[in-house]
Amino acid sequence: MNDDFTALLLKSGVAGAAKRKKSREDDMRDWPKTRNRHRLAAAVKNWANATTSRVEALARLRQVAPLERQRIQLTMTIVNLRAAIEGRENQIRRLELLVEERCATIDRLKYANERLGLENHLLMAMLVAPAPGEAAAPEAPR
């Protein structure tokens, strides 16, 4: 093998990779410890294929890892925004219910006010009208 390639393999942490072929279990054990190793491994196409070297796979992984972190951050942002929207929608529903209750209270008070107004007119008419059996006495001039 090329000395530059061997140096690259040794520098990337793959000790002795140029001298022996590793099994898939060894590759997974030496794979960088990340939270989403299974996702990152799937993103690196043909990482275990003989045509793609481990160095190339690690280089692709280094390109994919920041994008994966950004995707996770954006996912969390979406989740937070959805929670905020849901909270606002709940608040809107509560306010609409409060408006409906207050409108119902206003309607009841209007009805009670109209009824009291009619009752007031009836009582005023009873005060002004003479009692049955009494003649209407002329009022004294002032």
**Does 93 reside within a domain?**
yes
Domain assignment of residue 47, yes or no: yes
Residues near 5 by beta carbon (within 8 Å), at least 6 away in sequence: 18, 55
Whether 34 is in a domain gets the answer: yes
Examine residue 112 and state whether it is found in any structural domain, yes or no.
no
Task: Give CA–CA dist 46/15, Å, rounded.
Answer: 21
| Segments forming the whole domain that contains residue 86 | 14-98
Q: Is residue 138 part of a domain?
A: no
pLDDT of residue 67: 87
Smallest CA-to-CA distance from 6 within 26, 16, 57, 56 is with 16
Is residue 82 included in any domain, yes or no? Answer: yes
pLDDT at 119: 95
Residue 46's pLDDT is 47
pLDDT of residue 136: 56
pLDDT of residue 18: 44
In the chain, how many domains are there?
A: 1
Pair 30, 14: CB distance under 8 Å: yes
User: Domain for residue 26, yes or no?
Assistant: yes
Enumerate residue ranges in the chain where pLDDT < 70: 1-52, 131, 134-142
- Domain membership flag for residue 5: no
